[in-house]
Structure 1
Amino acid sequence: MRRIINFPHTMWISQYTVRFAFNEVISQENFQAVQKFNWFLQKNLQHKLVETVASYHTVTAYIHQKIDIKCLQKQWLAMQMSTTNEEIPSRHLQIPICYDEEFALDMQRVMDYTRLTYEEVKVMHISKAYLVYLIGFLPGFPYLGDLHEQLFVPRLKKPRKSVSASSVGIGGAQTGIYPLDSPGGWNIIGKTPFTLFDVHEKNSFLFSLGDHVQFYEITKQEYSEIKSKGV
């Protein structure tokens, strides 16, 4: 039976900014609805659209011409009733991580809180494929979920003044990677040799909304070798 997703709640932020909100729940099912609606807006608004910004449960559309919400509602329903099933583009990325003690600044805190061993934390962290729910906080910072429940650890009570770029952290139900040197309160458990943000590249961000990410462990030597290649 075809699942019909209700049209999201509509709220005008300004004359040329409108926000569409689904249920305020962080889940893959809810995010799939967001992704589908984001793609729908890009396809149907076209020349009226400046850009869309999607997050956990909302899509904000920036427009330069007036749009007809009732017309969009009809198009949304018609698209879902159509027999044509168009796939929303999605990438599957393999990201190396070094969990060496030099990079895993908060591993002891994580072990104390979870009562897991160093090895168990690593194995659990790489055992799941993660979904990029949101890009934010810093340019290219990916909010990845869903973290294994046994790795749910509160963020630091006192954030660090500086976390080095490419550090991998966990906080609450999510894991993420710092794209730049910045303050931060996530529990740092490793580091990737990959560069997440490069303003000089055509595609500045390594990650995109909706990507599927699988981590794998590398040694410190492998980290240095990859880093020297400037990936």
Structure 2
Amino acid sequence: MRHNPLLLPLGDSAWTVEFGDRIDPALHARVMGLAGALHAAREAGELAGIVDLVPTFRSLTVHYDPLAIDGEQLGARLLQLAEAAGSSTSDGRHWLLPVCCDGELAPDLERLAEARRMGTETVIALLAATTFRVYMIGFMPGFPYMGGLPPALAMPRLASPRKAVPARSLAVTGEMCAVYPWESPGGWNLLGRTPVTLFDAADEAAPALLESGDQVRWRIVERAEYDHLVGELAAGRLRRTDFLVAAEAAWPA
């Protein structure tokens, strides 16, 4: 674990601030602490040349307009803020998202259960009992890399990736969990499907449902409820944000 942040140039219009060399909630809290400090500085009218912040597992990339702000001065300021900001104490937003683990929606469930020497009911129960932390968005827009998968469910990627993973598929590999926002190739193990769209280009304010720092729990639903929710969301009678919960206390025990 690196105690002092490391500043790395990324082309001529971005800096990456690294906090360590592994996936660790404590490192990610420092990433989010710096992101929070930068948001506060921008709201106070400072650092107007910053155009985007990209948090990851262990680093924060800061994109800026070199015509609006001096890159060297910004780099020095980033190091100051990184050392002063400390770790974020925010738990992020809390989501309780439905997922169906029935039949063709969970094509790898039985294989994973057999490999880990447990019943499919146990796999599903472990998924439902786990709080997942969104570390970063990557691979494709809206694709959340979520940590916290129980080691008992850890599985390697498929030897031969699928050419087309269905949209909204819940997937796991190693100790990570994710959801494919739309149909794409992929090699993760598919354990279910959520009716909730994770990336909506029509939502200009927030096309990606999840963001770094969010926490996610899964509510297991039967196929009939899954189909009903798909219809309600498509008709606009439900909104994606309806699955936000006020706090961790609202999650099921």
Identify whether the pair has TM-score above 0.5, normalized to the shorter chain. yes
Match of 1:159 in 2: 161
Match of 2:48 in 1: 47
Q: Which moved more, 1:100-109 or 1:180-189?
A: 100-109
Select which of 98, 122, 125 maps to 2:124. Answer: 122
**Alpha-carbon contact 1:7-1:73 (below 8 Å) kept:** no
Secondary structure in structure 2 of the residue aligned to 1:223: helix
Match of 2:70 in 1: 66
The runs of 5 or more residues in structure 2 that have no matched partner are 239-253
Report the CA distance between 1:78 and its aligned residue.
4.8
The runs of 5 or more residues in structure 1 that have no matched partner are none
Report the CA distance between 1:106 and its aligned residue.
0.7
- Determine whether 1:29 maps to 2:26: yes
Query: CA RMSD of the aligned region, Å?
Result: 2.0
Report the CA distance between 1:7 and its aligned residue.
4.6
| Partners of 1:87 and 1:144 in 2: CA distance | 18
**Alpha-carbon contact 2:94-2:215 (below 8 Å) kept:** yes
Q: Which moved more, 1:104-113 or 1:147-156?
A: 104-113
Match of 2:145 in 1: 143
| Partners of 2:108 and 2:20 in 1: CA distance | 34
Select which of 11, 14, 20 maps to 1:14. Answer: 11
Match of 1:204 in 2: 207
CA deviation vs aligned residue, 1:72-92 (integer Å, no higher than 9, x gap): 444454555xxxx98647200
Report the CA distance between 1:32 and its aligned residue.
0.5
| Partners of 2:88 and 2:219 in 1: CA distance | 31
| Partners of 1:87 and 1:7 in 2: CA distance | 19
**Alpha-carbon contact 1:156-1:187 (below 8 Å) kept:** yes
Q: Which amino acid aligns with 1:209?
A: S
When normalised by structure 1's length, the TM-score is: 0.90
| Partners of 2:153 and 2:91 in 1: CA distance | 30
**Alpha-carbon contact 1:39-1:88 (below 8 Å) kept:** no
Secondary structure in structure 2 of the residue aligned to 1:41: helix
- How many residue pairs end up in the alignment? 223
Secondary structure in structure 1 of the residue aligned to 2:192: strand
Match of 1:222 in 2: 225
Pairs within 5 Å for 1:63-142: 63-64=64-65, 65-67=69-71, 68=73, 69-79=75-85, 88=90, 90-142=92-144
**Alpha-carbon contact 2:198-2:210 (below 8 Å) kept:** yes
Match of 1:191 in 2: 193
**Alpha-carbon contact 2:36-2:88 (below 8 Å) kept:** no
**Alpha-carbon contact 1:165-1:179 (below 8 Å) kept:** yes
Q: Is the alpha carbon distance of 1:15 and 1:225 closer, same or farther for their aligned partners in structure 2, counting shifts above 3 Å?
A: same
Pairs within 5 Å for 1:165-184: 165-184=167-186
**Alpha-carbon contact 2:29-2:88 (below 8 Å) kept:** no
Secondary structure in structure 2 of the residue aligned to 1:119: helix
CA deviation vs aligned residue, 1:62-108 (integer Å, no higher than 9, x gap): 1112142344444454555xxxx986472000001101012110112
Q: Is the alpha carbon distance of 1:77 and 1:153 closer, same or farther for their aligned partners in structure 2, counting shifts above 3 Å?
A: closer
Q: Which amino acid aligns with 1:99?
A: C
Q: Is the alpha carbon distance of 1:74 and 1:170 closer, same or farther for their aligned partners in structure 2, counting shifts above 3 Å?
A: closer
| Partners of 1:124 and 1:131 in 2: CA distance | 15
| Partners of 2:88 and 2:114 in 1: CA distance | 47
Identity of aligned residues (%): 30
Q: Which amino acid aligns with 1:174?
A: M
| Partners of 1:183 and 1:77 in 2: CA distance | 40
